[in-house]
Amino acid sequence: MIETLLAAAILVICSLSIISLVVASVATNYRNRMDSTQTMLAESILEQVHSTFNGNGTSALSDCGGTTWTIDTTIPNTGSVGSALSGAAIDYTETSPPAGYHMDYLVKSPCQSSGTEDATYDVRWHLDQIGTTQTYLITVSAKLKNRGQGNLIFSAPVTLRFMAGS
C-alpha cells in the first residue's frame, strides 16, 4: 500500500512538472508569433519605402481593420525626415510622430473587418541622407502596442535598417 502511494505521489509530481513545461511552451510559441508578425510588418514597410523611393513619393498600406495608411517616402535634399531616432533605433518615447511616417497597424484573424482582433503594432520609419551623396539610410521599426484579447505581453521592438540609392 505504501509503495502504491509513493508511486502515485511521484507520478503526480512528474505530471505537474510536465504541465508547467507545456504551459511555458504555449506562452513562448505565442510570443514568438507576435515577434514574427512585427518583423514581417517592418519588412513590408521597408520594402514599400524602398520600392517608392523616388524623391517625392508615397504609397499606401491597408490593415485588417480597413484603415489605409499613407507611407511617405519623400527624400530630403539634406538631413533626415521621419520619426525620431534614439541612437540607431526608432524613439518610441516620441508622442506625436510626423504624419506619413508612422501607423498603428491592426492585425485580425482572419484579416477582414469581421475578424477577431489579434494585436495592434506601432510602426514607424525614418529616412536619412548620407553625406552629400544620393545614398539614404532607411530605418523601420515595429513594436507591439497592444494585444487584442485584453492582456498585454512583452515584446521588444524590431528595427530594420537598409541603405538605398536613387
Q: How confident is the model at residue 7, as a pLDDT?
A: 92
Q: Sketch the domain layout of the chain as residue ranges.
A: 2-165
Residue by residue, pLDDT tens for the chain (166 residues) are 899 999 999 999 999 889 988 888 887 887 787 778 888 888 888 887 777 765 557 788 888 888 888 888 777 666 788 888 888 888 888 888 888 888 898 888 888 878 888 888 889 988 888 877 778 888 899 888 876 555 556 677 888 888 887 5
Q: How confident is the model at residue 86, as a pLDDT?
A: 85
Query: What pLDDT digit, counting tens, does each position of 119-141 carry?
Result: 888 899 888 888 777 788 888 99
Q: How confident is the model at residue 11, as a pLDDT?
A: 92
Give this prediction's pTM: 0.76
Q: How confident is the model at residue 56, as a pLDDT?
A: 59
Helix, strand, coil percentages in the chain from 3-state DSSP, rounded to 5: 30, 35, 35
Q: How confident is the model at residue 77, as a pLDDT?
A: 67
Give the largest CA-CA distance in the chain.
86
Q: How confident is the model at residue 9, as a pLDDT?
A: 92
C-alpha atoms less than 13 angstroms from C-alpha of 137 in its C-beta half-sphere: 16
Within its chain, how far is the Cα of 62 from the centroid? 15
The answer to whether 45 touches 64, Cβ cutoff 8 Å, is: no
* Residue 110 in grid coordinates: 482572419
C-alpha distances (whole Å) from 83 to each of 27, 98, 135 are: 32, 6, 19
Q: How confident is the model at residue 73, as a pLDDT?
A: 77
